[in-house]
Amino acid sequence: MACTNTEKLGDVLVLGIGKTGEGICRYLAGLPAGRVDSVTLYGGARSEECDATRALEEAGVRCVLGTEDVEGSFDLAVASPGIPEKSAFFRAAAAASAEIIGEPELAFRESPQRWIAVTGTNGKTTTTSLTTHLLHEDGRAAESVGNIGVLCIGEVGHRPEGGWLVAELSSFQLAETARLHPRAAALLNVTPDHIEWHGSMEAYAAAKEKIFANMGAADLAVVSMDDDWCRAVAVRCAQRGLRVCELSIDRELGGRDAAFIRGDRLVVRLDGAEHDLGSVDNLKIRGSHNWENALAASALALFAGVGEDVVARGLASFSPIEHRIEPCGEVAGIHFVNDSKATNTDSVEKALTAFTPKSVVVLLGGHDKGTDLTSLAAACCREARVAVCFGAAGPRIARALEEEAAAAGSDLRVVSTEHLRDAFDAAVAAAEPGNTVLLSPACSSFDEFSNMAERGRLFKSLVAGLASKGE
């Protein structure tokens, strides 16, 4: 099937020289003659010549490096995620272009058939991966793409006939969409995150809501009803005539389309027909928040035509993904869990509920986003036995935990260290047999690591090293 678009793109500007920018350029440079007149890459102020830019130049891409002052006139600009819309770089590109979009939007325009999309502050990756797993369980071709780490545009060129793209979409990516129209989409939750990029909580929530912007009555919008922001979105979707599958793990729901827990059973009702998908105890992914992820993925897969028995089987066989409450060993009766993907406070609060209260030694810290810590501090005092704080955000987190523990009369012990290696050693020293040492940082990783995956893999290597010593 591959690309089905024949629209002439004209002169195209690509913003950013990272993985996304390079992937977009390579795709555009490989299009048939006549679809693209020229491709120009602006790498940004800190960009400089490298092997990637030299290869792109050889492919016919003009690379402009070391500046954000965009000159010229373009029919279309494609921006990498993470370049804020309010930045001078983005504004300069927008002023020089008839239209500016993001990479998932370009991929959709090139190949718009059979898209499923997932967004939310937390749970996106698990839900996306699980939805793809359920499609695979049914023998269907499907690829997880988007914010999960696989470029949407990279899959367009070799999509098989009938294949699905299951896209994890961040607020950054959704903010730069215009025509994106998935057949089914899920909004899991909206809690404070990336406010510094969007400018306000309202703008952040509005970007998430754009996942449903072009959907109609023949599509399915799966929306959590356990979240105030999401409930408001569900109301607006229903008012537009969209088919809304309301989702809750807190209560049983009525209506023709709903996903909920009944007793310990995962239940999805679509068009009035109920599907009992088995007990939550069958899931290998831990925590009640993963019940929500499982329900959302099930609703999306059932809507795509996967049978009830296949969904139930797929739910039971799905294993935790790397860096998301990922078990990574046991040493001397102490369990180790890598949740490096927990880069905001809400995801940590949910992770803590996956374990017996007061059995967790949690590692918190990293790059400080300036997030409010009130709710996190309360959750740690309630759920954790020890909190080890590290990195640039460590001192602020430690103060918040200590103040909350004193006010609440909690016995939470707070330990401060400088780096993750130090934090790991302190956590091992503080843990007792039967405890879980949980890396769930509530922060991004950029003070010490290039990304959260590097951080998580260091944690796992430290666990492996501890095991090899027989401690």
For the record, the structure tokens of 159 come out as 């999509």
Active-site annotation holder among 133, 194, 341, 460? 194
Clarify whether 19 is annotated catalytic: no
**What is the rounded CA–CA span in Å between residue 165 and residue 180?**
13
**What is the rounded CA–CA span in Å between residue 342 and residue 286?**
14
Beta-strand pair 62-64/436-439 = unpaired
Q: How far is CA 362 from CA 45, 69, 226, 281, in A?
A: 38, 45, 26, 24
Active-site annotation holder among 122, 124, 189, 208? 124
**Running DSSP on this structure, what letter comes out for residue 319?**
P
Task: Measure CA 470 to chain center.
Answer: 36
**Running DSSP on this structure, what letter comes out for residue 254?**
-
3-state secondary structure of 343: coil
For the record, the structure tokens of 211 come out as 């996942």
Clarify whether 147 is annotated catalytic: yes
Please name which of 354, 273, 283 lies closest in space to residue 314, comparing C-alpha atoms.
283
Clarify whether 460 is annotated catalytic: no
Residue type for position 383 = E
**What is the rounded CA–CA span in Å between residue 139 and residue 304?**
13
Helix then strand then coil, % of the chain, to nearest 5: 40, 25, 40
Active-site annotation holder among 122, 133, 147, 189? 147
The set of catalytic residues is: 124, 147, 194
